[in-house]
Amino acid sequence: MSENLPASLHLKIITPGKLLVDADVEAVTLPSLEGYLGILPGHRPLFTALGKGDLAYCLDKREEKIPVRGGYAEVQPGSVLVFTELGQDEDSSSPLG
């Protein structure tokens, strides 16, 4: 294992209507088409399709969840970029907005 692993992940979640999350997080859980994927800093590069479920992330030692219904995620060792549609109306309260 490499000693030069990033301490956090930069998470961006983009929906058709807005940038929903843009923050440094400790971990991300993605609902892929084949099950849930746990992403930690230093994860190998990955491009995956998302299914329906809860996208979760740890921010300041607490877990936030966002219901999503499909999309794509690009994972790099220090970042996760998600393009998705929310599982509920975007006008509802969001974790960071």
Mean pLDDT for back-to-back runs of 10 residues, the chain (97 residues)? 76 95 96 95 96 94 94 96 81 47
Please state, as a whole number, how many other Cβ atoms lie within 10 Å of the Cβ of residue 83.
15
The pLDDT value given to residue 4: 75
Task: Please check whether residue 21 is in contact with residue 3, taking contact to mean a CB–CB distance below 8 angstroms.
Answer: no
> pTM of this prediction?
0.83
Give a yes or no: residue 20 inside a domain.
Answer: no
Give a yes or no: residue 15 inside a domain.
Answer: no
Supply the range of the domain harboring residue 53. Answer: 26-86
The pLDDT value given to residue 89: 54
Show Cβ contacts of residue 81 under 8 Å, excluding neighbours closer than 6 positions.
12, 14, 73, 74
The pLDDT value given to residue 16: 92
The pLDDT value given to residue 12: 98
Find the CATH number of the domain harbouring 79: 2.60.15.10
Task: Report the DSSP pairing between strands 79-86 and 9-14.
Answer: parallel
Give the angle 2-27-97 at the CA atoms, nearest 5°. 140
